[in-house]
Amino acid sequence: MQGLEEYMLPCLNKKLFGMECMGCGMQRSLSLLVHGEFIAAFKMYPAIYTLLIMFLVIAFNLFKSFKSANRIILVLAIINAIIIITSFFIKTFSI
């Protein structure tokens, strides 16, 4: 797993405009999760856990549909959007 960082995609937004995007840190956060560094993964990208839960619900719903799946996915998507936008503004405009 040491070579995982070599295959990470660079942020095109950061290269072109010199500013991080709302997704910056997600790959590194996943890498930290794989290495068992759970707190560091959250600090790197705060929405990592809610995104994983949302993707697990979506994947589970593909194989075994359940009644309230759409509502759960919508709520998780809204929570993720709020977390991502808030952390982006904190990271971008913090002194």
Residue-wise pLDDT tens digits, 32-82: 998 899 999 999 999 999 999 999 999 999 999 888 999 999 999 999 999
Q: Note the pLDDT of residue 78.
A: 97
Which three-class secondary structure state does DSSP give residue 30?
Answer: helix
Angle between helical axes of 48-63 and 26-34 (0-180°, round to 10): 80
What is the separation, in whole angstroms, between the first and last Cα of the chain?
Answer: 34
- Count Cβ atoms within 10 A of the Cβ of residue 50 and give its class: 0-12 exposed, 13-18 middle, 19 or more buried: middle
The CA-based angle 29-35-36, given to 5 degrees, is: 90
The answer for residues whose C-beta is within 8 angstroms of residue 91's C-beta and 6 or more apart is 20
Higher-scoring residue by pLDDT: 24, 62? 62
**76 and 53 in contact (C-beta within 8 Å)?**
yes
Tokens 């996943």 identify what position?
A: 30
* pTM for the model: 0.80
